[in-house]
Structure 1
Amino acid sequence: MNRSLALALGLAALAVPLHAQAAPPASASASPLAGTEKLDGLYPVHVDRKGGRILLSLPAAGGDGVVARMLYATALRTGLGSAPIGLDRAAPGPAQMLLVRRMGKKIAFELENPRFRASAGTPAEQAAAANAFATSLIWMGDAVDGPDGRLLVDIAPFLARDTRNVTAQLNSSGEKGWKLVDGLSAADPNAVRAFPLNLEFEARQTYASDTPGPEVRNIAPDARQVTLVVRHSLIAMPEAGYVPRQFDPRGGSFATQILDFSAPLGGQIVQNLANRFRLERLDPAAPRSRVRKPIVFYIDNAAPEPIRTALLEGASWWKQAFEAAGYIDAYRVEILPEGADPLDIRYNVVNWVNRATRGWSYGYAVTDPRTGEILKGAVLLGSLRVRQDMLIYEGLVGADRTGKGGPNDPAEVALARIRQLAAHEVGHALGLMHNFAGSTQDRASVMDYPAPRIGLKDGAPDLSDAYGVGMGRWDVHAIDWLYGDPVSGDPDAAARAKAEAAEREGLRFVSDENARSVSASQPWGSLWDDGADPVAELDRMMQV
């Protein structure tokens, strides 16, 4: 190279802008999975803990663009701590049918509408029913072509949205001006869990208001904003084989309503399916049989002793009813093992919930919206009720008896009450409604609200028979109606026969719609009463 050419090349190099020299060469082959950790489960999930991405790996779309169908449910990992507002720790939302669809470069999350259907119709009839009613497209994300022909979508932005509808619950409870703060809300890549039939995700979401109400001001460290951790569950569609039970208002169960436009002329379009767990006999021909998958409820290990043991004992009462319905070891209760996630959709949990003030307890059932099959039972027991009950009993018999043992020990009576409460709320999670007529038939149901039966002994209040123990006649019947199946014949016909037999026997059933309203006039449906004759019981209680 001569000196003139070398000088020319050197000057040309100096003429290149500094930023162009520093830019690294672009790599068209950079993998979208770079920096991620793979978790195998219902679908593979690639977690980018540093970058915050949560890449859901899905199969390639079919010719219609459909990628996958699954159930989607939410719950609260952390609560607000307010009894009036709600938003309790472990409070679940409903299960909804989620359709994942590819639309060009986008992936759409769409909630289907299984309430309206033509289940026995031709494909054209089924399409007509489905297309006549709106769905809800709740999110769209970018589709990325991954390895092996699969699709990747970063669902972290979806998880950070207010899909749990926290904003509405805050603003409808005496609070005002609450809204989600996008800049203070994000999915947590460290909380992703993958299992064969479900994927679990979490997001930390912050809600802000310039006009917080008294409840939030009493609780939050900065009343202008509250942060909750929201759980999202993606669940495999339940396998085939579940047999729905036709709802009967005499059965005492909750129900899922559908409108089936393939019903024959003269048939019912509006149909109600009783909510219940799936129980499959190992020996269908035997009147008594073990089951393929027992119903197991777990007691929150956050509940302190001796309350934890009392909860286990009360929730276990239902075993008697399942045994009477022909099931062997089909129902049991255990303490939640250390390390188990109480919000995992696979666990039915009796949760111990703390609030700033005493509030209600609840029994929820997360159900398949197509069939009414219960997928998860979630019980929320307020921790302050047992303490308030004990104060009431101390007012009746004296605080000096607390801890002394015996039938008039306020602590022992409070434990008797919480055993009944555990059975009551688990009954809801098993699919049963209130029965406020139980108290008129000598404690026929734990699904009633039990007033303490306070007696007089030597002129002083006596609590030795304050609360019953075990199942009542109605409870045994209700489980048999809801879960019991004949060895042969039509199960719905057998259930109708059981309801008619209970009616002939005189078993009474009165639930909320005929009891709670101030206009309700059902004489057997009073709340917090005891005995068949309310006038006689009032006179007796006045003596107490």
Structure 2
Amino acid sequence: MKLTSTILTTLLVTLLGLSYIGNAGAAEEIQSIEEATDGAQFFDGYFNFYYQPANGSILVEINEFDTEFLYANSLATGIGSNDIGLDRGQINAGRIVKFERHGNKVFLKQLNLQYRAQSDNELERLAVEEAFAESILWGFTVAAESDDRVLIDVTEFFLSDVHGIVNTLSARDQGNYSLDQSRSAIYLPRTKNFPLNSEFEAQLTFTSARGGSLVRTVTPSADAITVRLHHSFVQLPDDNYTPRIFHPQSGYWARSFEDYAAPIDEDITQRYISRHRLQKQNPNAASSAAIEPIIYYLDPGVPEPIRSALLDGARWWNGAFEAIGFENGFQVELLPADADPMDIRYNVIQWVHRSTRGWSYGASLTDPRTGEIIKGKVTLGSLRVRQDYRIAQSLIGLAMEGANESIQQLALSRIRQLAAHEVGHTLGIAHNFAASINQRASVMDYPHPLIDINDNGVLNAINAYDIGLGQWDYQVIKYGYSTYGNSNEESAGLANTLEENQDAGLLYISDADSRAPGSAHPLSHMWDNGASPTDELAHLLDVRQNAMNRFGAANLNPGQPYAELEEVLVPLYLLHRYQIEAVHKIIGGTYYDYSVYDGNPDNQSPKVVAVPAEDQWQALDALLATLEPDVLVIPQSILQMIPPKPIGYSRNRESFPLRTSLGIDYAAIAETAADHTLKGILQHERLTRISNLNGTDPSLPAIHEILDRLLERVYYTPHSRDPQSASIQRVVNHVLLYRMMSLVRNDKIDNRVKSQINYALHNLQDWLTQILLQERDSLWNANYQLALDEINNWFNRGAQASLLTAPLPMPPGAPI
């Protein structure tokens, strides 16, 4: 009886459970789309969607699963700090995604296009797809369903930090922020729908108990950062676009992926260039209008006369497109008042404000499959033009009649060039930092203002910046955008363009070989001029001295405090800083290019050639000249003109470094300039390269020879009788020793280099010991004793801590 009772009880519980499950299932029955969107605002377009005002949600309708589309996000509003980098208009790389349904779940999956099989064999393609991971970006629950249509609530996804704002703030040491959902919502005014793209926007607030110093300068309350994040769902382009093959001499960036279907005797890595789609209305005509011209839209928030300058500079590119047969194929207009700059359909040039000057850049939203550019996005920092004005102000002054107008024109000339440069990036074009040796052959270089001295000894800046595109720019557009009848014609045409470049002597060297402190190419630099870096350094020092001789009150605008002469002096005193970097590369430098094997086995000419020894020694002497007191000393006439900051004004990042708490610290200023020269000469990769080159060709400079010359010019040289100049000599002594000691304490540098530094220090130790027995000047005695103690501490005790104070950093230089 007890067993029967237990069975009946179990059966009853089971039936009740089944009944509950059935009722629960009935309660969770999925609504129809019509029911779920009752009272919602409907947006008809690429993805139909609804805005539900009752709870502020966005409901997206999916008509077809497993259909690929492009997803991108961008910052509609920025934080305003160049150093943080979260700027208005910043766009992330596009991702090809698709919606997948699994029961009542819908996944947004990003496809892995880095690994592919470009094959007609479906199973071959599938084998690669299944070999590498994909990424589920978000999971949704089916909210409603009608027929073949499914509704999902995407609000939580749009209110998430898909842009990586928290990580960026953390990486910049700006605090541990988190997204506050209670202070975040869909931003309806910028949420729109179009036939080929659906645009969504959200207002997000990130909170932290304590924001970093940069955040505090740009937010009303550092504990809450509110920005707007834009999301775009974009229909992928059709298949009528043909990717163009990348060539390392083409002038374009490469978009690469691994093709596992490539023949075994071919490179598995495939490389395309990025470019806009551009086709002629009449393909057989030498010149024709485009089916759809490339149109860029300028931010209407740009003030005059900057607006006109930006329009002019950006429009320079049309000449290059005209040259390859596209009539008015490239256009620039003002963005219509009712247009949204975040709308994926518009190529946009945005004028972006930050609290400090910073970089401008050209970005693109690109189809990852082919390299086709879907949206070009230029960001121009608004404070750049003010820096250009200040550079001109420091050189020219404001006293002469018409000087202010001349300075403005110089600044506007730079802005025209900047517009062309950044638009060039959004056309797919990379930097060419060797263009300056070919008579300023490209807007894709970083130009330094070209200043001449006329026969009367007056500075002339009328040709400071070039007008129009250079020869290289025309050739790059010819490679990327010329049209051909078939693939054979295309291959021949592209090869012909590259041959034309070679015949014209157009050198092309880009970022990887130009930016790093230890880079080796002697002709590829940023912010330089001329075919000879050494000659240009001498010229710039003459220009600098000319302007320094005239520097004073006339370099200020009426009403400016005299204390602000300091910030005007900075770009003048450091006028040669970039040319010094160019001359550094000659020492231990090598000539090379991006040539490829032409199939001729008899072509055995050297592809890497060391800079001749004579040129290297000339470069070293030119650099050592920048350490002379005549170059480093700031005259008393200038020092006495610059008082400490008055009330209401303060020092900033554009001011000189100092150890005196206020005013001008001429010793610290000279220290930073001397360190700039010496740090580059003694750059550890450069020294290792010098050792290697000398090992194969003893006629080239050796490390010990360079160190001997450094010590001869810095330590073993007569003392200046001028007190300030002698003080600067002692400063340079300390900087050289600091850099040498930093190398010998570095456990990562080549031991051959370290041995040479070590030997030079022993020689200096012996010299210091002897000179201290002879020197009678107490200031020089103290200088030499500190140096000797520093060396003894290392050799006798292996002291890692230096007795010498590290040189102060220079004020920010680039971008100019």
TM-score higher than 0.5 here?
yes
Structure 1: 5+ residue stretches without partners:
1-25
- SS of 1:248's equivalent? coil
Q: Look up the equivalent residue of 1:485 and give its one-letter code.
A: T
Whether the 8 Å contact between 2:294 and 2:329 is mirrored in structure 1 is: yes
Give the CA deviation at 1:299: 1.0
The CA distance in 1 between the partners of 2:403 and 2:327, in whole Å, is 39
The CA distance in 1 between the partners of 2:300 and 2:529, in whole Å, is 33
* Aligned mate of 1:463, from 450, 454, 461: 461
The CA distance in 2 between the partners of 1:490 and 1:75, in whole Å, is 39
* Aligned mate of 1:58, from 55, 58, 62: 62
Pair 1:194-2:198 in alignment: no
Whether the 8 Å contact between 2:317 and 2:330 is mirrored in structure 1 is: yes
Pair 1:481-2:485 in alignment: no
Partner of 1:14: none
The CA distance in 1 between the partners of 2:91 and 2:461, in whole Å, is 36
- Describe the shift of the 1:253–1:373 C-alpha distance in structure 2 as closer, same or farther (beyond 3 A): same
Structure 2: 5+ residue stretches without partners:
1-28, 544-816
Pair 1:445-2:442 in alignment: yes
Deviation digits for residues 81-139 of structure 1, max 9, x if unmatched?
00111100001111101110111111111111112111114110000111111111011
Whether the 8 Å contact between 1:455 and 1:463 is mirrored in structure 2 is: yes
- SS of 1:399's equivalent? coil
> Which one has a bigger Cα radius of gyration?
2
Partner of 1:8: none
Q: TM-score, normalised by structure 1?
A: 0.91
Partner of 1:71: 70
The CA distance in 2 between the partners of 1:531 and 1:495, in whole Å, is 29
The CA distance in 2 between the partners of 1:89 and 1:40, in whole Å, is 28
Q: Look up the equivalent residue of 1:38 and give its one-letter code.
A: F
CA RMSD of superposed structures (Å) = 1.8
The answer to which structure has the higher helix fraction is 2
Q: Look up the equivalent residue of 1:301 and give its one-letter code.
A: P
Whether the 8 Å contact between 2:475 and 2:501 is mirrored in structure 1 is: yes
Pair 1:435-2:426 in alignment: no
Partner of 1:388: 387
* Aligned mate of 2:410, from 390, 407, 413: 413
Whether the 8 Å contact between 1:348 and 1:376 is mirrored in structure 2 is: yes
The CA distance in 2 between the partners of 1:401 and 1:262, in whole Å, is 69
The CA distance in 2 between the partners of 1:101 and 1:402, in whole Å, is 70
Whether the 8 Å contact between 2:389 and 2:407 is mirrored in structure 1 is: yes
- Describe the shift of the 1:331–1:141 C-alpha distance in structure 2 as closer, same or farther (beyond 3 A): same
Deviates more, 1:145-154 or 1:521-530: 145-154
Q: Look up the equivalent residue of 2:424 and give its one-letter code.
A: G
Alignment of 1:237-256 (within 5 A): 237-256=236-255
The CA distance in 1 between the partners of 2:354 and 2:401, in whole Å, is 24
Give the CA deviation at 1:144: 3.2
- Describe the shift of the 1:120–1:305 C-alpha distance in structure 2 as closer, same or farther (beyond 3 A): same
Deviation digits for residues 159-187 of structure 1, max 9, x if unmatched?
00111111111111132312222332232
Partner of 2:733: none
Give the CA deviation at 1:145: 3.7
Give the CA deviation at 1:487: 4.0
- SS of 2:205's equivalent? strand
Pair 1:39-2:43 in alignment: yes
The CA distance in 2 between the partners of 1:316 and 1:60, in whole Å, is 42
The answer to which structure has the higher strand fraction is 1
The CA distance in 2 between the partners of 1:189 and 1:358, in whole Å, is 32
The CA distance in 2 between the partners of 1:380 and 1:237, in whole Å, is 25
Whether the 8 Å contact between 1:453 and 1:465 is mirrored in structure 2 is: yes
Whether the 8 Å contact between 2:396 and 2:403 is mirrored in structure 1 is: no
The CA distance in 2 between the partners of 1:43 and 1:326, in whole Å, is 38
- Describe the shift of the 1:158–1:401 C-alpha distance in structure 2 as closer, same or farther (beyond 3 A): farther
The CA distance in 1 between the partners of 2:180 and 2:201, in whole Å, is 16
Q: TM-score, normalised by structure 2?
A: 0.61
Whether the 8 Å contact between 2:31 and 2:143 is mirrored in structure 1 is: no
Partner of 1:531: 530
- Describe the shift of the 1:423–1:401 C-alpha distance in structure 2 as closer, same or farther (beyond 3 A): farther
Q: Look up the equivalent residue of 1:73 and give its one-letter code.
A: A
The CA distance in 1 between the partners of 2:360 and 2:144, in whole Å, is 47
- Ranked by relative contact order (alpha carbons within 8 Å, sequence separation 6 or more), the top structure is 1
Alignment of 1:177-326 (within 5 A): 177-326=176-325
Instruction: Give the count of matched residue pairs.
Output: 512
Give the CA deviation at 1:343: 1.0
The CA distance in 2 between the partners of 1:404 and 1:145, in whole Å, is 69
Give the CA deviation at 1:403: 6.5
Give the CA deviation at 1:60: 4.7
Give the CA deviation at 1:525: 0.5
The CA distance in 2 between the partners of 1:421 and 1:183, in whole Å, is 42
- Describe the shift of the 1:540–1:487 C-alpha distance in structure 2 as closer, same or farther (beyond 3 A): same
Q: Look up the equivalent residue of 2:470 and give its one-letter code.
A: G
Partner of 1:160: 159
Deviation digits for residues 239-295 of structure 1, max 9, x if unmatched?
111100011010010121111111112012111110000111222222322221110
- Describe the shift of the 1:120–1:441 C-alpha distance in structure 2 as closer, same or farther (beyond 3 A): same
Give the CA deviation at 1:147: 3.5
Identity %: 40
